[in-house]
Amino acid sequence: GTGRNPNLASPFAINRYDLASVHGARLLAERAVVADSAQRIDNATVARLETSLAAQKYCLDDPVRFLICDREFHCAIYRCSSNPLLADFVIGLYTYLMEHRRTAMSQPGAILRSFRDHSEILAALRARDSAAVVAAFEHHLDRIYSTTRAILGAMGRDAASTV
């Protein structure tokens, strides 16, 4: 093992916070992590992300399979960061309300939009362009936030309340 603590930010602990707080924390931490990763990413990881993106193309109507690819894609990027604690923290935030992510990915066109976001992210990483990577991630995270808020609203749950 890598000596990393997978329970650092367990889904149980993270899910006690409201959506806006988690989104804010995720934006803040993720900007730093992915900007760093853009400078440090190696060719082997870029190749892995290209393979992942190719696989994602075949998951456009399979939310569960897509989410497995999505997690692998995000974690590979985060782990390129020079700060393993911050990377693990961001991975913890990624798991927030995972059961709603499956619902979100079942909406028409949702997987395709995420796939396009991932294509933008990968292009920016390939260019080792931190600003472009941060911008692509911000766009991606804002869409995830909006979609999750809409799902919580449809379930009659206030996105501002704790779970």
Average pLDDT, whole number, for the chain? Answer: 90
pLDDT tens column, 123-146: 999 999 999 999 999 999 999 999
pLDDT at 163: 46
Helix (H) or strand (E) holding 88: helix 84-94
Q: Is the separation of the CB atoms in 136 and 124 below 8 Å?
A: yes
pLDDT of residue 160 exceeding 80, the answer is no
pLDDT tens digits for range 78-107: 999 999 999 999 999 998 888 888 888 998
